[in-house]
Structure formats: structure tokens, C-alpha cells
Amino acid sequence: HLEILEELFPGYENTWRSSQEPARKGYAGTMFLYKKELTPVVTFPEIGAPSTMDLEGRIITLEFDKFFVTQVYTPNAGDGLKRLEERQVWDVKYAEYLAELDKEKPVLATGDYNVAHKEIDLANPASNRRSPGFTDEEREGFTNLLAAGFTDTFRHLHGDVPERYTWWAQRSKTSKINNTGWRIDYWLTSNRVADKVTKSDMIDSGARQDHTPIVLEIEL
């Protein structure tokens, strides 16, 4: 895989972290590609999350001179919400982590947050009230994250535009066709640099289901 990445992105370094034992090996992971002329300090933070969450390769942070860029793959509450309590602890710990970064310099944070924040952020809110990713607890966790000093850049730029999603269930063959999606992938920024964002949007991935790429452009 690393050889293929070198072939496809010759001008880029990559840094990655994958789930490791005693967590389920290869179960989750994150990766950054960044231009070779850049020299960020790379860290793989552990935030004091419950069970094996800190060993699941979920966060990578790049520190640049004037800002941080960090990505996250937030744990899913799981079938039957079996991981919901642990997820709530994660949300608190992650918000504390971002807030600590924000004390040093502005933060650009992205990833799969595994939550549709508001009813407008998914196609069928009524029937998903207790589905993983749309429980009151997870939504409150995301509200609290924003309240710690962060801006959902897509809503900041676009307001309450409906039917804009980043994920469509692969289990349902018609989810992409019918646009019965969820917006669960975000670019967040520290409040103080939100007005410097010039673009925050989804990149059309055609008929492909699951996640679509998202893009942020910011004038720092």
C-alpha cells in the first residue's frame, strides 16, 4: 500500500496509524498525506479514552508554525448502541483535547465524527432517533464540542441548506440513488479563524456509496 501511495502521490509524505492489539488489529485507522516540502511535527495523541479506543488509530495531529491540522475517526456507538456510554466519554475527552490545542494556536479539525448533528443533517431523522450516530447523547456531544470554541465550517458558509450529505449506507442499494444520506464528516476550525474559510464542501463521488470526500480551503 505504501508503494502504491508513493506511486500515486510522488510529491507527498504520508503518516498513518492503524488499530493495534489489544484492540482489533486493522479495525480502524487514519492517514495524512502532506507535501514533501512541509515539515510538520506529527503526533498520534491518546486522550484517555475508555476501553481500547486509544489503541484504534483514531487521531493524527500535524503541528505547523501557526496552526494545527488534526483528523479523527470517531468511534461508532455500534449495533444496539453497545458502545454508546464509551462513546460519550470519548466525546468529552476529544473536546478537551481540541480545546487544549486551541489554547496554543488555531485548530483545523476534520474527519468522520460519526454523528449527524441536527435533523437537517440526515434524510430520515424521525426513523433514526435511536440509531448510532443520531442519538440525543451523540448530538449533545457534538454540540458541546462546538461550544468549546469550534465552528462547523460547512454550516458557517452555507447556512441551513438541506439534503447535503457525506455518507450513504452501503447496506441499502438505493441510498445514494435516493440521496437518503447523512452528514457525518466535518471540517471544524477554531472560531477565531472561521471567517478565513473560503470553501467547505463535499466532492462529488458519483454513484459510490459510503463516504464522499470533503474539502476545506482557508486563507491563513
Among candidate residues 54, 112, 121, 152, the one labeled active-site is 112
Active-site residue flag, 204: no
Exposed e or buried b per residue across 16-43, where buried means at least 16 C-beta atoms within 10 angstroms of its C-beta: ebebeeebeeeebebebebeeeeebeee
> How many Å apart are CA 110 and CA 214, to the nearest integer?
9
Active-site residue flag, 112: yes
> How many Å apart are CA 50 and CA 90, to the nearest integer?
7
Instruction: Name the nearest CA neighbour of 73 among 48, 56, 97, 52.
Output: 56
Instruction: Name the nearest CA neighbour of 32 among 14, 50, 49, 44.
Output: 14
Residue type, 175: S
Residue 65 grid coordinates: 508554525
Among candidate residues 34, 73, 113, 186, the one labeled active-site is 73
Positions annotated as catalytic residues are 73, 112
